[in-house]
Chain A
Amino acid sequence: MSTEQHPVELIMARGFATHLSTPAFLVDRSGVLVFYNEAAEQILGLTFAEAGPMSPEEWASRFEPTGPDGRPIPREELPLGIALLEGRASHGPLRITSAGGLVEEIQATAFPVIGQSGQSGALAIFWRTPG
């Protein structure tokens, strides 16, 4: 085993996400998708074990996040992008496309994960938009 350990707050964030029944999506400091939980798997259409870690470009192109009107949103303007790049919480409605091609209307809330040595990532929690 030669891989360096993630910062402990990211490890704890994954542990927290694992136990949530609401979908959660975790990225590291550089925006790499490092984990999503079982509830997110139901919306995204594939398990994290199948998907594996993804670069920001990969996950943005795979899940195609857009605004509710279908217009593309730059990654840095997504709630997760704002949490990661600006270090602040953000919330907003989104549309994503699952691995099976199904379009899902969701509300996403994202916040930065900040430990004793600074920001190590961001966590987004999301819900299907009612109706």
Chain B
Amino acid sequence: MLVRIWGTRGSLPTPGASMVRYGGNTSCVQVTLSDGTNLVLDAGTGIRNLPADLGRSGERIHILLTHLHLDHIQGLLFFDPLFRAGVEVTLWGPAAQGVSLERRIGRYLSPPLTPVEIRELPCELDFRTCPSTRWQIGPAQITAEGVTHRGPTLGFRVEEGGSALCYLPDHEPAIIGDIDQLEAEWLSGSSLARNVNLLIHDCQYMDAEYPAHVGWGHSSVTHALQFARRVAARSTLLSHHDPRHTDDQLDAMLADARARWTEAGGREDAIAMAAEGTAVTVDQAASLGSSP
């Protein structure tokens, strides 16, 4: 299972000279399975940079949306395969009572917000609500579960060949209580992330910023590290960077996170900041290397 990061920014795309190394595109992660099947986790603006030939050889593309906040769907309108006839795309997303996923996404993909409507897309687009039980895509087992964020939001666990990835880009487990003290059944995301080889987790705030953002649905550095430790993740990519955080600030956050992680007995290369272009092979001992 190969993971490529195409968008790391939370909330808002952030172009600019001080955002070049970690990137300014919003959430998007490509997961390539052993048989070549591609899963795209979230459709933020990073989705524009996915390989241009995706879907050309007839394989179905699966886009899995954690939730429908704009920073996770804004790239849909600029995803080339949606504009190619014959390309098969399945869009998976969270359930909502009485309103279909297509209709909810259609609120964005329709005038006056966009010039294009869903029915105008020439690809073969299929909308599916994520099941509440584990399901199969290609050779991978997928589990989706609700997690603590604003509005209905899923996290994903992707398992293939004994390796596991957990994707929790928007997650505030600390909203319920002290992450170190909560019993496992009350720790949001714990079942999804338990013992994964690679955890991609929300780390939007510096610790000093969090008190002013309690309840906004995101985590601080401390919370991300606490969560990673509680679930025994073997390696963790910190993501969903705040749009105000520059490369230098993210470097400083990473240095701080690594110092605390190693002080607690962890490996320094088990923690990294997600950066656009990062590629990680998720195997039994994922190592994340140095910062960009």
- Chain A interface residues toward B at CB < 8 A: 1-9, 11-12, 14-15, 18, 115-117
Which residues of chain B come closer than 8 Å to A14, judged between CB atoms? 176, 186
Contact A5 B148 (CB under 8 A): no
How would residues 162 to 195 of chain B score, 1 for a CB under 8 Å from any chain A CB and 0 otherwise?
0000000000000111000001111111111010
Name which residue of chain A comes closest to B132, CB basis. Answer: A117
Name which residue of chain A comes closest to B147, CB basis. Answer: A8
Given A9-B146, A116-B95, verify A15-B176 contact (CB < 8 Å): yes
Contact B183 A3 (CB under 8 A): yes
Given A8-B146, A9-B146, A116-B152, verify A1-B188 contact (CB < 8 Å): no
Pick the contact of A4: B96, B97, B185, B232 (CB < 8 A): B185
Given A1-B231, A116-B96, A116-B97, verify A6-B186 contact (CB < 8 Å): yes
- Chain B interface residues toward A at CB < 8 A: 94-97, 132, 145-148, 152, 175-177, 183-192, 194, 230-232
Name which residue of chain B comes closest to A28, CB basis. Answer: B185
CA distance A131 to B275 in the complex (A): 63
Contact B184 A7 (CB under 8 A): no
Which residues of chain A come closer than 8 Å to B95, judged between CB atoms? 116-117
CA distance A117 to B145 in the complex (A): 10
Name which residue of chain A comes closest to B185, CB basis. Answer: A3
Given A1-B231, A14-B176, A117-B132, verify A8-B148 contact (CB < 8 Å): yes
CA distance A5 to B148 in the complex (A): 12
Pick the contact of B187: A5, A12, A18, A117 (CB < 8 A): A5
Contact B186 A11 (CB under 8 A): yes
Instruction: For the A-B complex with A8-B147, A116-B97 known, give 20 more contacts whose Cβ atoms are closer than 8 Å.
Output: A1-B187, A4-B185, A4-B191, A5-B188, A5-B189, A5-B191, A6-B186, A8-B145, A8-B148, A9-B146, A12-B148, A12-B176, A14-B186, A15-B148, A15-B177, A116-B95, A116-B96, A116-B152, A117-B95, A117-B132
Which residues of chain B come closer than 8 Å to A15, judged between CB atoms? 148, 175-177
Taking the closest CB of chain B, its distance from the CB of A53, in whole angstroms, is: 10
CA distance A4 to B189 in the complex (A): 10
Contact B176 A18 (CB under 8 A): yes
CA distance A21 to B146 in the complex (A): 27
CA distance A18 to B147 in the complex (A): 18
Which residues of chain B come closer than 8 Å to A4, judged between CB atoms? 185, 191
Which residues of chain A come closer than 8 Å to B186, judged between CB atoms? 5-6, 11, 14
Given A8-B147, A8-B148, A11-B148, verify A3-B176 contact (CB < 8 Å): no
Pick the contact of A116: B94, B187, B191, B230 (CB < 8 A): B94
Contact A5 B145 (CB under 8 A): yes
Contact B184 A1 (CB under 8 A): yes
Most interface-central of A1, A2, A5, A15 (chain B CB within 10 A): A5
Name which residue of chain A comes closest to B192, CB basis. Answer: A5
Q: Which 10 residue pairs are nearest across A and B when measured between Cβ atoms?
A: A8-B146, A1-B184, A5-B191, A117-B132, A116-B95, A3-B184, A15-B176, A3-B185, A5-B190, A6-B185
CA distance A58 to B77 in the complex (A): 55
Most interface-central of B146, B147, B231 (chain A CB within 10 A): B146
Which residues of chain B come closer than 8 Å to A2, judged between CB atoms? 184, 194
CA distance A12 to B194 in the complex (A): 20
CA distance A2 to B185 in the complex (A): 9
Taking the closest CB of chain A, its distance from the CB of B132, in whole angstroms, is: 4
Which residues of chain A come closer than 8 Å to B176, judged between CB atoms? 11-12, 14-15, 18
Taking the closest CB of chain B, its distance from the CB of A52, in whole angstroms, is: 10
Given A5-B188, A11-B188, verify A116-B231 contact (CB < 8 Å): no
Name which residue of chain A comes closest to B131, CB basis. Answer: A117
CA distance A2 to B232 in the complex (A): 11
Taking the closest CB of chain B, its distance from the CB of A84, in whole angstroms, is: 18
Taking the closest CB of chain A, its distance from the CB of B94, in whole angstroms, is: 7
Which residues of chain A come closer than 8 Å to B191, judged between CB atoms? 4-5
